Amino acid sequence: MHLTHLACTACGQQHDAGIPQNVSPCCGKPLYPQYDLVAAARTLTKDALKTRGKSLWRYREVLPVKRDADIVTLGEGFTPLLPAPRLGAKHGLARLFIKDESQNPTQSFKARGMAAAVSMAKQFGLKKLAVPSAGNAAGAMAAYAARAGLEAHIFMPADTPKANIIECHELGAHVTLIHGLITDCGAEVAKRKAAEGWFDVSTLKEPYRVEGKKTLGYELAEQLDWTLPDVVLYPTGGGTGLVGMWKAFDEMERMGWIGKKRPRMFSVQATGCQPIVRAFQAGEKSAAEHVGAQTRASGLRVPKAIGDFIMLDILKKSGGGAVAVTDDEMIAGVREVGSAEGLFVAPEGAATYAALKHLLAAGTVRADESVVLFNTGAGVKYLECFGE
């Protein structure tokens, strides 16, 4: 609504927001939408939010779609921030919360980004969208493309959870399974998109998925009465949610909603695929590809992320860090979270709980701090991960 331009995340150069774009023409890096926040703040106020609907579109003024008629929605966003008292009591934590993204349409956080991306595709008059996905982004893209009447062309690893594959087929998408990783799927999209007439909506290779994801940050602040938590643990594949939240915090400060205090942000990955963890521990500014990536948490099986340099900068600036956990820890964590709090979380969500235990044991997180774990999806979509 108040979108002014796109900015290169590497050099800051401005680019035209009035045409469909992927990465920045100047540096080949992700583009960030920028807004007239002074104008946005005239109507987007804390008081105004009290009367708005419970979806991510409550933050309409800082989302990119110009016309309400172009908004493609299934009711995504404003998921609950649930206190986790029994889980917290095990570790002496009085203020432990779980942001439960499984309650989104398509049962994962990916609905947020795809709602924004597909809405913008509709606004631009695009007809065919393509995406490489480890699973949940594919389901979300299929759903929102169907809602908008657009073609969805989806490329997934052949061993993607069956629920995701069935979901995409039943939503009318064109599904191609690739014997490889999400990076191989991305290479196939890149090779064919020009000839096929597809617009690529890959993570951070399209400017607007991050805008849907940034609403996680707005919601977190609003649900905690405009006081950000001390610690955020986020399961990180492509990392759009992590970078989106950080962008939201900056926008909220510029509108005068919050101060300079930020949560310590922790990226959580699998030991079998931990490019961000390795790079952070080595003090690197970008992350080398994790060769031979393996993990049952399909959303974490991203060996190379285009936004790696953004994530690493956030982790450093926030005073946070990066933690890798084993698949066995994740799967055990699913049952521990479920039996304590009644949430059947995805392995990626359980990874944040496993990481929290490591951080508490090391003294990196203190019992008197407020902590938010992000559950990014529903456990029911990962049934192959669990024994009977």
Hey, is 35 helix, strand or coil?
strand
pLDDT at 388: 56
Neighbours of 170 (CB within 10 A): 12
Mean of the per-residue pLDDT values of the chain: 97
Q: So what's the pLDDT on residue 116? A: 98
Query: How far apart are alpha carbons 203 and 215 in whole angstroms?
Result: 16
Q: Distance between CA atoms of 127 and 209, rounded to whole angstroms?
A: 17
Would you state the pLDDT for residue 134? 86
Residues 6 or more apart in contact with residue 2 via CB below 8 angstroms = 35, 36, 37, 39, 40, 61, 62
pLDDT in tens, 87-136: 999 999 999 999 999 999 999 999 999 999 999 999 999 999 999 998 89
pLDDT per residue as tens digits for the range 141-176: 999 999 999 999 999 999 999 999 999 999 999 999
The CA-based dihedral angle spanning residues 268, 355, 137, 30, taken in that order and rounded to the nearest 10 degrees: -20
Q: Which amino acid is at 310?
A: I
Find the range with the poorest average confidence among 2-6, 34-38, 298-302: 298-302
Percent of the chain with pLDDT over 90: 98
Report how far residue 56's alpha carbon sits from residue 77's, in angstroms, rounded to the nearest whole number. 4
24-34 confidence digits (pLDDT tens):
999 999 999 99
280 pLDDT higher than 60: yes
Examine the pLDDT at 324 and tell me if it is beyond 80: yes
- Give dist(CA 359, CA 265) in Å, integer: 12
Contact 137, 111 (CB under 8 A): no
Q: Are 134 and 239 in contact (CB under 8 A)?
A: no
Q: Tell me what pLDDT residue 1 has.
A: 77
Determine contact, residues 113/137, Cβ cutoff 8 Å.
Answer: yes
Specify the length of the chain in residues: 388
Beta strands in 208-286 (DSSP E): 231-235, 264-270
pTM: 0.96
CA atoms of 67 and 334, how far apart (whole Å): 41
Strand segments (E) across 63-118: 81-83, 96-100
12: left (phi over 0), alpha (psi -120 to 50) or beta: left
Burial class, 284, CB count within 10 angstroms (exposed 0-12 / middle 13-18 / buried 19+): middle
Amino acid identity, position 12:
G
How far is the CA of 272 from the CAs of 177, 298, 302, in angstroms? 22, 11, 10
User: Does the structure show a pLDDT above 90 at 223?
Assistant: yes
Cα angle 108, 114, 115; round to 5: 100
Residues 6+ apart with CB under 8 A from 238: 203, 204, 302, 305, 306, 307
CA 222 to chain CA centroid, nearest Å: 18
In this predicted structure, the answer to whether residue 227 has a pLDDT above a threshold of 70 is yes
- Name the token pair of 370: 């407020």
Domains annotated on the chain, with CATH: 81-105+210-385 (3.40.50.1100)
Quote the CA–CA distance of 286 and 310 in Å, as a whole number.
8
Q: What percent of the chain has pLDDT over 70?
A: 100
Q: What span, in angstroms and rounded, lies between the C-alpha atoms of 372 and 363?
A: 17
- Residue 347 CA to residue 376 CA, distance in Å, equals 9
- Closest of 291, 375, 308 to residue 104, by C-alpha: 375
Instruction: Report, as an integer, the average pLDDT of 327-342.
Output: 98
Interval 330-343 mean pLDDT: 98
pLDDT digits (tens, 9 = 90+) for 168-183: 999 999 999 999 999 9
Token pair in block for residue 245: 């939240």
**In which region does residue 226 sit, left (phi positive, over 0), alpha (psi from -120 to 50) or beta (all else)?**
left
pLDDT score, position 24: 97
